[in-house]
Structure 1
Amino acid sequence: MTSVTTNSPKSTVPKEMSIFSHVKFEHLIAGISGGVISTLAVHPFDVIKIRFAVHDGRMQTTPKYSGIANAFATIIRNEGIKGLYRGVVPNVWGAGASWGLYFLFYNALKARLQKGNTDMQLSASTHLIAASEAGCMTLLITNPLWVVKTRLCLQFDAPTQTYNGMFDTLVKMYKTDGIRGYYKGLIPGIFGVSHGAVQFMVYEEMKKYYSYYYNQPISTKLGTVEYLTFAAVSKIVAASSTYPYQVVRLRLQNQHYSYKGAWDCVKQTWIYEGWRGFYKGLGTNLIRVTPATMITFLTYENISHLLLKYSVNKIVN
């Protein structure tokens, strides 16, 4: 009887509070750390993927590469090592902010659904919804950084270089296109929220079934191999199933060509390139995003567990 009365009105009030009552900035710090470290490690593949994705065979100003190795060699020969790191600053900012905010929002939404009980199991559809909401919130904040990164990565040689770094790009974009320029590719980006949603759903489900199989709480810290495996599988599933939106989004952000909108981009890609056009750069993307995601999630899981453990011990002591 005592346990029932202690769980009445007084203890349920915090559980019904807004999402902000479940915000833990440990997830933000851990997410930023994972995003920054992984981005610095694999940025050259990102540059190559973007250049593959925007090449539709019609723009003479866009370099054409016969493969990943040829792309590396050509960029280094024509632009030097720095060519492989074009757009790295906004990419680091964007990835750090995106992963940090995504993990922050996602865990806050999940904690609200769990009513503060981190060992409460949620369904696959619930994970999908929480991840979608977190993705939309993150995209609205970080889209300008992705537009800047894309434009810097698409500066091929001296005659076409119109931007001198992240802040110069932000200023020039505003002068040319106003606030709207910062949100080019937003519509396909919103559709692309499904990518993160699928990834987090698969990742969470794998962790859930693993914990169930070994009869342990789902909040239990797992080993390095488990985190790396779950991250790799979830990213491959998500990337393969949602890649076309990335091609459309990148082409809309490309300063060398102009489309009337997302639907016009889709139509032109289909007319001139067929279904293959929507999967340009997928191989490079998988080579880049799979290890990047593995690094991100491993870093995030270890740092978040460490910070949360420290916070609990600090409260107890």
Structure 2
Amino acid sequence: MSDALINGLAGAGGGIVAQLITYPLLTVNTRQQTERDPSRSAVGDGAVRQMLEVVKQEGWGRLYGGLAPSLVGTAASQGVYYYFYQIFRDRAERSAQDRWRKGIGDGSVGMFQSLVVAALAGCVNVLLTNPIWVVVTRMQTHKKTSNGPPIHALSCLREEAVNLAVVEHQPCRTSHVVQELYNEAGLWGFWKGVVPTLIMVSNPSIQFMLYETLLKKIKRRRSLNTKGAEGFTVHEIFLLGAVAKLGATIVTYPMLVVKARLQVKQGLHDDKRRQYTGTYDAITKMIRYEGLSGLYKGMGTKIVQSVFAAAVLFTVKEELVKAARVLVTGELRRINNSRMKTPS
């Protein structure tokens, strides 16, 4: 089994665990990002209070709206990302070694090369998995009252009258959202928000650059010559992952808000201030009508969710990678031993 495949599968496993633990925060954060009322707190909208409101008004299940496609998206995203990241990383390391043999550099992958590697893997990931996340965003922002029909996400309604006076409540299902997206804009509807999402590639790029830079510096101080995170404790990996994600989130958060605004359902009767034709239009309207603080709505919640999720992801991934390598090594040893025992 190749390192790329091991890292891809481990990344998918780590991503699923992190998603399950932090999903309620992710749902609340998406709602905060798509809140259009400028009177609401821009940065800290009270995640705990909002979670309690959702539970009271809509039930516990709404905190996990879109969980199924989200888990599929997380597994696909992390698997694709880590798989291609490891492939690009291996090529960068071989290139660095070749330059070192020619007397250029120290044979290690530098900060800029790490950034490029992460960016390339991120672009591949975005282009392949964006449709899943558009569906997830729609399902997370679907709201309903405790006693009546939904008050948002018209994908979950069947119109019985032109003025929407009479509606029949339907559960918000993945199939409904997929059909709505296709009816709205055809196949392109599944790539709504892809431009800011591609820009957001810099988030994992910065994250992994910080993570590997910190890892490399600590290795030098400890005089370690190990591969990956071998030689580090689970707590150390958790902390490094959290610090790296914190730095990346603060820098790139505005693009995350813009992406959510573009992917969420735009009401039929919304005024022009709430309808966006693209990334630039969304940014300019948000700044004009909501101020710069509008670009940072829900950032407090996102920092808590993303930092904790990233720390869990890194920790689980590294443990799974170690376990996989042990299993592969043990399997190879058994095969070699059996060959040695086989008479010629």
Contact in 2 for aligned 1:139/1:190 (Cα 8 Å): yes
Q: Take 2:83 and 2:18, find their aligned partners in 1: how far apart are those partners?
A: 18
Q: Deviations over 1:9-46 (max 9, x none)?
A: xxxxxxxxxxxx97631111101100111101110101
Structure 2: unaligned runs, 5 residues or longer: 98-105, 157-171, 268-274, 337-344
Q: Is the 8 A contact 1:208 1:218 kept in 2?
A: no
- Contact kept? 1:22, 1:111, Cα under 8 Å: no
Q: Identify if the C-alpha distance between structure 1 residues 251 and 293 changes in structure 2 by more than 3 Å, giving closer, same or farther.
A: same
Q: Deviations over 1:74-95 (max 9, x none)?
A: 1011100001111111211111
Q: Quote the residue 1:212 is aligned against.
A: 220
**Alpha-carbon offset, residue 218 of structure 1:** 4.0
Q: Give the Cα–Cα distance (whole angstroms) in 2 for the partners of residues 26 and 117 of structure 1.
A: 23
The aligned counterpart of 1:222 is 232
Aligned to 1:280: 297
* Map 1:62-101 → 2, pairs under 5 A: 67-101=46-80
Alpha carbons 1:22, 1:116 under 8 Å: kept: no
What's the TM-score, normalizing by structure 1? Answer: 0.87
Give 1:144's match in structure 2, choosing from 109, 122, 131.
131
In our comparison, the structure showing a higher alpha carbon Rg is 2
**Between 88-97 and 160-169, the greater mean CA deviation after superposition:** 160-169
What is aligned with 2:311? Answer: 294
2:206 to 198, 204, 228: 198
The correspondence of residues 30-49 of structure 1 with structure 2, limited to 5 A, is 30-49=10-29
Q: 1:51 to 1:183 in 2, by over 3 A?
A: same
Please tell me whether the aligned partners of residues 24 and 64 of structure 2 are also in contact (alpha carbons under 8 angstroms).
Answer: yes
One-letter code aligned to 1:176: E
Structure 1: which 5+ runs fail to align?
A: 1-20, 60-64
Give 1:130-209 correspondences, 5 Å limit: 130-157=117-144, 158-159=149-150, 160-161=152-153, 162-163=155-156, 164-209=172-217
Deviations 1:76-135 (Å, cap 9, x if unpaired)?
Answer: 111000011111112111111111111111111101111299996311111100000000
Question: How much has 1:225 moved relative to structure 2?
Answer: 1.4
Q: How far apart in 2 are the matches of 1:248 and 1:106?
A: 26
Kindly report structure 1 stretches of 4+ aligned residues shifted beyond 4 Å: 116-120
Give aligned-pair identity as a percent.
28
Aligned runs of 1:214-253 on 2, under 5 Å? 214-219=222-227, 220-253=230-263
Equivalent AA in structure 1 for residue 304 of structure 2? I
| CA gap 1:187/1:117 in 2 versus in 1, 3 angstroms | closer
Q: How many angstroms apart in 1 are the aligned matches of 2:91 and 2:179?
A: 39
Q: Is the 8 A contact 1:110 1:130 kept in 2?
A: yes
Deviations 1:205-260 (A, max 9, x none): 11111111111124134211110111000000000011000000000011035311
Q: Distance in 2 between matches of 1:165 and 1:206?
A: 43
Provide the C-alpha distance between the structure 1 equivalents of 2:263 and 2:81, rounded to a whole number of angstroms.
Answer: 22
Higher share of residues assigned helix: 1
| Residue identity opposite 1:247 in structure 2 | V
Judge conservation of contact 2:7–2:86 (CA < 8 Å) in 1. yes
CA RMSD of aligned residues (A): 2.3
Letter in 2 for 1:111: D
CA distance in 2, matches of 1:238, 1:116: 27
Confirm or deny that 1:312 pairs with 2:320: no
Residues in 1 aligned to 2:57 and 2:95: alpha-carbon distance in whole angstroms: 55
Taking the TM superposition and a 5 Å limit, the aligned residue runs for 1:109-124 are: 109-115=88-94, 121-124=108-111
Which residue of the partner structure matches residue 8 of structure 1? none
Q: What amino acid does structure 2 have at the position aligned with 1:77?
A: K
* CA deviation map 1:37-85 (0-9, x unaligned): 11011101011111111112179xxxxx952222012101110000111
TM-score (norm 2): 0.80
Paired with 1:308 and 1:47, the residues of 2 have a C-alpha distance of 35
Give the length in aligned residue pairs. 292
Q: 1:66 to 1:277 in 2, by over 3 A?
A: closer
Residues 66 and 126 of structure 1: is their aligned pair in 2 closer, same or farther, counting only changes over 3 Å? closer
